[in-house]
Structure 1
Amino acid sequence: MKQEILVELDEDRVSVNRDTPTRYVINPLLFDGYKKNSLDPDHLKALGKSIYDSIFSTPKRRSLIENKGPDDLIIRIKSDIPKVHDIPFELLNRDPEKPEELGYLLKDPTINLLREPGHDMYWELPKRPLKMLLILAQPLEIMKEAPIDPLREVEEIRDALGALLEDGLIELFIEERPSLRRLAERLRSQSFDIVHYSGHGVKGGYLILEDSENPQRAAQQSPERFAEIFRDRPPRLIYLDTCEGARSDSISPSLAYILSKNLPHCAVVANTSSISDRAATESVKNFYKKLGAERFEDTIGNLRRKTPSEWYKTVLFALPGRRFFEKEVIEVPERSPRVEYGVSPPDTEKTYVYRYRLVRKASDLIEGKRALLLHGLGGTGKSTLAQYLCRFFGSYFDHTVFIDLKLEKIEAPEKVLEILEGPECFGLKGPPSNVKERIKRIASKGRLLLVLDNLEEVAQDKEGVLKRDWRILIDSLLDSPNVFTMLTSRFVPYRDQRNRLIGDAATLDIREYEEADISLLLHHTKGKRQERLLEIRPTLKKEFGLHPLAISIALRLRYGKDSILKILEDDELRGLLEYYKPYLSPFPLLRALCHLPVLLDKEIIKDILPAREWKLALDLGVAWEEGDFIRFYPILRHFVELDDRAREEMLERLKGKKGRRAALNRLFLAPEKDQIQYFLEAWGDGVDPVLIKELVDVDDLGNRAREIKDPEKRATTLNNLGTL
């Protein structure tokens, strides 16, 4: 039988089990130190003792603890004063001289503590699988300062839920682009039983979401606005995995307090102060592991006993005796056992990092399309990103199959069908029928995410057109509403000589790293490895751009800036990039452009490059557009020859027309450091200064440079002019 102690507090008085209230005072120095996160273990114990003495200040009250017996005991903290809930009651300690497991009340497995919400918590135990929404709040400007890998967050939740997910008792949904507007739209059409927020918060209950107008910007949302979006469809549980979600400020209650007061029948978990990533991860895991088996007080109790450090920072607003659900009651629809083939974690040895822009764009396509093409230069991470997306969005599908055509030495589509029908996947038997019927039978087993990796050298001919038997297979996959097909290729796949297999709307161009990706990479590399990356970064960028595989090789083999060109000796890199030689060799102008490691004005490209050659460059992924400019991959100049023919044709085409001069002027005004220096380094040998003068209008450049308002851009441009 469970016993309960009701502790009711106002600003300076406390009663226990509705006895005569007494005054209470928490040691102000220790309490202030706790708020600043500066207390050592001994002072934490002392603070716990101060809280204990303030509440259990009479012999009768202390006897409730000292004479409790073997039965379970629940301490219920109740107060309508928001600031009272800043007090870390979870630290209650009757004897700081004793070891933690004996001094802290909540280390006793028979004692639990809850904070009372402002409402009753009555609900019928659900008979359907529960829905959980995971909110991953990482605006770009926050990512640069405090990067978090969302996949790690997703997999920690999956690991914590374990059998609840595997048995179909909980369905997991992910919102990785959460603005207030987007969340409100989603909640208008869908209800969730659990909402888990992972991101950044500040005291006073403000949460960081994305700005609704500019998703790269962070927007602080007030507790009231965040609570409002749940008012019509309140969940049963909200877990705020952020710092200070349960801490008020001088004018505002905490977010946890506001949610617990305003959302009927909703339990709230939050942290009273900043918490380390490791402790937060342990807390989440230990809470969810008991979610389906215990009452709320036992669930939070498991967290406090199993989490080795900072266990006292996580608090729960809930009523005792409430069970979240019972497994036996839930009716799970019959489904085939989950198939997961070929899916592996991102290769940490290859230094994979979260690709901010790409994953976010992919989420739109996965939700709204039936297919996705990952296309780009060799070594930019198409295969690795495909693996990442399989793991990140795996819970959207019943089955996930990843087939690397090159690695598995697959030459014909029949082998793909054999894998899908074989014992490692769906174990289908019976007489073979046509391809369409076989795909239909596979799709009947549930929603399938299928990746066909490295299409170009197996399924496509030299012009990128799909071979007939492969086209039949892929068309059958694309026609199936139950199959989402993800393809990767270095060459855009075509259905025939004119028509692309996958349209632009469902194509994701995989390029070199962006600065946000590098920020995350720096965050995940530690010590000497991080120092080496910072040291070699300028040289890497100059020689190879931010090419993912080149960066990975440099880090793995510990190359310094003076030995950076040894990267070119790597067999994997050479194999990937020498693929382009036979395509580019017949076109001297394309080869010349690969040796210009600068932004190129679109007007120049349109003017000097035949349409067929520009189409080839885009289909091969050797160049990409950045606003009004074009960039060819810097790494390609190490694999594509710049001979006299290519040099002469390039310079000849650039000479003479006023339109070209204007375009070149705009190129040299581009706000990127060392534009002209790179140009001269690549083209300086044997170039007549008079020829360079013909290519640009120095007077026009000077006039336009002085009109640039941005001081940094103006200085860069003037520096470029000085170099010229």
Structure 2
Amino acid sequence: MPILHLDLKAIKGDVVELRYFWDNPNTYQSRSLSLAEIAHLTKDAEERYYVSSKVRDNLATIGRELFNWLDGSDRWLVSQLSERLGETVVLAIATAGQLSHLPWEVLHDGSQFLVQRYPAVVPVRWQSSDWVTRLSAQSDSQNRALRVLFMATSPRSVEPVLDYEQEEAEILKAASRPSIGLTVEESGCLKELGDLADSYGVEPSGRRYFDVVHLTGHATIRQGQPQFITETATGEAHYASAEAIARTLKPPLPTLIFLSGCRTGQAGNGGAVPSMAEQLLQYGATAVLGWGQPVLDIEASRAAATLYEALSRSNPLTEALALTYQALIKQEARDWHLLRLYVSQTLPGALVKPDRTLGWQPAPPPSVATEFLDPLTRNVRVPTRESFVGRRRQLQNCLRALTQFPHSPETLGVLIHGMGGLGKSSLAARICDRLPHFKRLVWQGRVDSANLVNKLAEALEDRTLRERLQDPNEALKFRLKWVFSQLAQGATPFLLVLDDFEENLEARGSGYMLKAPAVEVWQALVWAIRQGNPRHRLILTSRYDFEASDSGVLYRQPMDALQGADLRKKCERLSALKPPQLEPEATEETKQAARELVQLQTQAKQLADGNPRLLETLNSLTQLQQQTTQLPDRQERLNLLQTERQAQPQIAQATTLEQLKADP
């Protein structure tokens, strides 16, 4: 792919030298530009491009002025581009200071934007230096599906609230093809993103696992420096610098980082401060996409989905970007021109090979692996961290309640309540994962004095503590208080999980109360933690909320049905409920089979009403499974089904939807 380099350098006084060349920087040609003229254009862009609400109507005018300014009276740019007709051309534009503030993406030749041409002329922002004098094309495509790591951030205290689920849903839709492997980090927390990326390790070639890391959220310029607003573990705003992001992802950084946040591609202070995208290049990134200003959520979503679909089809990065621009322009998107690509030494080509290449590896199916809430007894199956879907706000609410001591010493635990199958135990497991400095102990179902003491004693290494706890001659609350107080100095606090706590409740009027045997246990636990060591915490899961003395120490977290992007992600993980994806050349018989499957899937989803466990049950229906065998991806679905049966052996088998409707 030919690269026309445009390197603008200040040389003396009010003069800037424009050097341009194709391959050899030693054969450059040059022309001089006046800084006064450049300052005028920068001011014009500031007033008309970044601020004006009527900017869309002025884009062609702005782009034409920029093109004419570069082209000059000798029409060198027109001449150079005419030599490469029929080829996609990259305009590698190196700027500094205020020049970086100019909207190079809207360059217009008088007939159309350069990015609209076929083949396109694609402006990219090239970070040159004394030791980086040309941009080298990279050809290192992998013979497999594209791998994308996605994280959306939308802290509670930041306005406007980001509709990140829309962007995630668009990318999920594009990623439903076997040529895209999408991994979603659910928390919005930078540390969790780093841990997830680390869990995939480094390939034998030295490459990191993911080709692309996509961060969507709000960005800003704070104290003169660009910051991306991520989330803490409890959902509050955490301002992350480019250096923090680079340190989190660790070298070698992925080939492409997409900062889908406003102003990630805008230089601060009128161009005097490098944008976050430019700073990431300085920390070792190869290519960074960013937005020059706040953009509409729907346009950011469409841009990401179009880009990744094009990349997955083995289009080089700049061609994929051109296709993205063209799609947005065709849709009359307001903000298409704000999408900016930054590169330094290397311009990536195709990230992956075409899916028909010999030996090509499709994306692995999303994880449906399970683990146990209590690894010792192995009674309660829950999704692994990789299989867990959604529940971000519920998780953050619970973490905030459990970690806010000493600011709110009255809260000692959380009660996760809701109907069966909504994932209460799964949420409890993820809370435990996020609190590694606690020691997890799990009781399932009925809890009495004896089984509470026995399990707690097994977790105590000190013989004296065990004997004192098991002393039958002293009331339970005093035994617990003594043990908890002895553990107060430096010992790991307990996270006491009471799962399926509804077995300790009975109906009373319109609500629920503790059964008599559970009253002693509950009162003793609460009193002993308060008096002995308030660092210990409780997690209860129950189908029902309940009233009891001291039940106010629990933060109530209701569970509701999966909706939107979370529901889609859950279905993508199920062999019979993932949407069918057909190639354009599919036969009419295959298309009819897909339509019939979609009808069955729609009925199943309506019946499940967002209940994860019921979705898993419906997924196992013979009626649905047989329909999937008529699709081209039947082997992939069969492999996923085998994994499901190993991970979820407790799911009852049924034949048809009608059976379930008749006998729920």
TM-score, with structure 2 as normaliser: 0.51
2:507 pairs, out of 567, 570, 583, with 583
Partner of 2:181: 171
Q: Which amino acid aligns with 1:45?
A: A
Q: C-alpha deviations, 1:630-665, integer Å up to 9, x for none?
A: 5899x9xxxxxxxxxxxxxxxxxxxxxxxxxxxxxx
Structure 1 residue 337 displacement after superposition: 12
2:20 pairs, out of 4, 10, 16, with 16
Unmatched runs of 5 consecutive residues or more in structure 1: 96-101, 341-352, 363-373, 393-459, 465-502, 511-578, 592-600, 608-614, 636-724
Q: Distance in 2 between matches of 1:57 and 1:626?
A: 82
**1:366-445 correspondence runs (5 A):** 380=418
Task: Answer yes or no: is 1:92 the counterpart of 2:113.
Answer: no
Q: Which amino acid aligns with 1:8?
A: D
Q: C-alpha deviations, 1:312-364, integer Å up to 9, x for none?
A: 11112245571111032664289899999xxxxxxxxxxxx9660238879xx
Relative contact order, higher structure (CA 8 A, sep 6+): 2
Q: Which amino acid aligns with 2:108?
A: N
1:315/1:585 Cα in 2 relative to 1: closer, same or farther (>3 Å)?
closer
Structure 1 residue 196 displacement after superposition: 0.6
1:63/1:384 Cα in 2 relative to 1: closer, same or farther (>3 Å)?
same
Task: Answer yes or no: is 1:125 the counterpart of 2:141.
Answer: yes
Partner of 2:338: 313
Task: Answer yes or no: is 1:205 the counterpart of 2:226.
Answer: yes
Q: Distance in 1 between matches of 2:58 and 2:549?
A: 56
Alpha carbon RMSD of aligned pairs, Å?
4.9
Partner of 1:115: 125
Task: Answer yes or no: is 1:219 the counterpart of 2:246.
Answer: no
Structure 1 residue 63 displacement after superposition: 3.0
2:544 pairs, out of 615, 618, 621, with 621
Helix, strand or coil at the partner of 1:280? helix
* Structure that is richer in helix per residue: 1
1:82/1:222 Cα in 2 relative to 1: closer, same or farther (>3 Å)?
farther
Helix, strand or coil at the partner of 1:21? strand
Partner of 1:247: 266
Q: Distance in 2 between matches of 1:508 and 1:15?
A: 69
The answer on whether the counterparts of 1:136 and 1:199 sit within 8 Å (CA) in structure 2 is yes
1:270 pairs, out of 290, 293, 312, with 290
Q: Distance in 2 between matches of 1:263 and 1:184?
A: 16
Task: Answer yes or no: is 1:196 the counterpart of 2:235.
Answer: no
1:282 pairs, out of 293, 298, 302, with 302
The answer on whether the counterparts of 1:47 and 1:91 sit within 8 Å (CA) in structure 2 is yes
Q: Which amino acid aligns with 1:108?
A: R
Structure 1 residue 84 displacement after superposition: 3.0
Q: Which amino acid aligns with 2:228?
A: L
1:233/1:619 Cα in 2 relative to 1: closer, same or farther (>3 Å)?
same
Q: Distance in 2 between matches of 1:270 and 1:588?
A: 53
Structure 1 residue 271 displacement after superposition: 1.0
The answer on whether the counterparts of 1:30 and 1:43 sit within 8 Å (CA) in structure 2 is no
Structure 1 residue 223 displacement after superposition: 1.9
Helix, strand or coil at the partner of 1:59? coil
Task: Answer yes or no: is 1:148 the counterpart of 2:162.
Answer: yes
Q: Which amino acid aligns with 2:305?
A: K
Q: Distance in 2 between matches of 1:324 and 1:93?
A: 29
Structure 1 residue 244 displacement after superposition: 1.0
The answer on whether the counterparts of 1:304 and 1:311 sit within 8 Å (CA) in structure 2 is yes
Partner of 1:7: 6
Q: C-alpha deviations, 1:495-550, integer Å up to 9, x for none?
A: xxxxxxxx98777899xxxxxxxxxxxxxxxxxxxxxxxxxxxxxxxxxxxxxxxx
Q: Which amino acid aligns with 2:61?
A: A
Q: Distance in 2 between matches of 1:186 and 1:269?
A: 22
Q: Which amino acid aligns with 2:283?
A: N
Partner of 1:356: 393
Q: C-alpha deviations, 1:79-126, integer Å up to 9, x for none?
A: 25254333211111233xxxxxx3322222322322335565646333
Helix, strand or coil at the partner of 2:173? helix
Helix, strand or coil at the partner of 1:621? coil
**Rg: which structure is higher?**
1
Structure 1 residue 136 displacement after superposition: 2.0
1:103/1:589 Cα in 2 relative to 1: closer, same or farther (>3 Å)?
closer
Helix, strand or coil at the partner of 1:51? helix
The answer on whether the counterparts of 1:238 and 1:267 sit within 8 Å (CA) in structure 2 is yes
**1:338-349 correspondence runs (5 A):** none
Q: C-alpha deviations, 1:563-583, integer Å up to 9, x for none?
A: xxxxxxxxxxxxxxxx99982
**1:696-715 correspondence runs (5 A):** none
The answer on whether the counterparts of 2:262 and 2:295 sit within 8 Å (CA) in structure 1 is yes
2:277 pairs, out of 244, 256, 261, with 256
Partner of 1:322: 349
**Range moving further from structure 2, 321-330 or 297-306:** 321-330
**1:529-608 correspondence runs (5 A):** 583-585=507-509
The answer on whether the counterparts of 1:139 and 1:215 sit within 8 Å (CA) in structure 2 is no
Partner of 2:321: 300
The answer on whether the counterparts of 2:310 and 2:320 sit within 8 Å (CA) in structure 1 is yes
Q: Distance in 2 between matches of 1:5 and 1:72?
A: 12
Helix, strand or coil at the partner of 1:133? strand
1:632/1:90 Cα in 2 relative to 1: closer, same or farther (>3 Å)?
closer
Structure 1 residue 277 displacement after superposition: 0.6
Q: Which amino acid aligns with 1:198?
A: T
The answer on whether the counterparts of 1:584 and 1:590 sit within 8 Å (CA) in structure 2 is no
The answer on whether the counterparts of 2:505 and 2:512 sit within 8 Å (CA) in structure 1 is no
Helix, strand or coil at the partner of 2:318? helix
Q: Distance in 1 between matches of 2:416 and 2:259?
A: 38
Partner of 1:234: 253
Q: Distance in 2 between matches of 1:248 and 1:626?
A: 58
* Structure that is richer in strand per residue: 2
Q: Distance in 2 between matches of 1:121 and 1:626?
A: 70
Q: Which amino acid aligns with 1:160?
A: A
The answer on whether the counterparts of 1:27 and 1:50 sit within 8 Å (CA) in structure 2 is no
Q: Which amino acid aligns with 2:248?
A: I
Aligned-pair identity in percent equals 17
Q: Distance in 1 between matches of 2:185 and 2:543?
A: 33
Q: C-alpha deviations, 1:256-300, integer Å up to 9, x for none?
A: 112234325x22111111111111111111111100221112100
